[in-house]
């Protein structure tokens, strides 16, 4: 299967933030876990397929990544430091982000 056909199998977590005023122990990991458990069924009901992976990014300059480590995401590396400027256009920003992945559904060996 080609890359473009498989991209739909990756769910992108674009924004995840718990405001300082609402923080309490384990809140971030509980919210992240609940959302990820729910997304698999929602994608299957609405689109007819189950996502294989979830991906997220974190800024190493401003976050300790505690929630990703606590919820067993896998750090796969750093981005090249680009920002999306419009739908298909990227510009360098000199701030590489950490890329995190989490398996959502068992991957087929086919």
More confident residue, 99 or 88: 99
- The pLDDT tens digits for 36-54 are 888 888 988 999 988 889 9
Domain segments of the chain: what residues?
3-15+24-103
**Confidence category of residue 85, pLDDT binned at 50, 70, 90:** confident
Q: Class of the 3-15+24-103 domain?
A: alpha beta
Q: Is the pLDDT of residue 71 over 60?
A: yes
CB within 8 Å of 28: residues ≥ 6 apart: 16, 18, 66, 67
> Measured at the alpha carbon of residue 67, what is the angle toward residues 94 and 108, in degrees to the nearest 5?
90
- The pLDDT tens digits for 19-33 are 889 889 999 899 888
**Is the pTM for the entire model greater than 0.85?**
no
């Amino acid at each position: 299967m080609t890359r473009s056909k498989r991209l739909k199998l990756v769910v992108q977590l674009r924004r995840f933030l718990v405001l300082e005023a609402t923080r309490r122990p384990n809140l971030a990991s509980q919210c992240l876990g609940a959302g990820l458990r729910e997304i698999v069924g929602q994608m299957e009901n609405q689109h007819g397929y189950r996502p294989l992976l979830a991906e997220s990014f974190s800024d190493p300059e401003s976050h300790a990544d505690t929630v990703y480590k606590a919820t067993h995401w896998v750090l796969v590396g750093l981005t090249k430091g680009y920002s999306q400027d419009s739908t298909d256009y990227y510009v360098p920003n000199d701030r590489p982000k950490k890329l995190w992945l989490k398996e959502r559904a068992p991957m087929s060996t086919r």
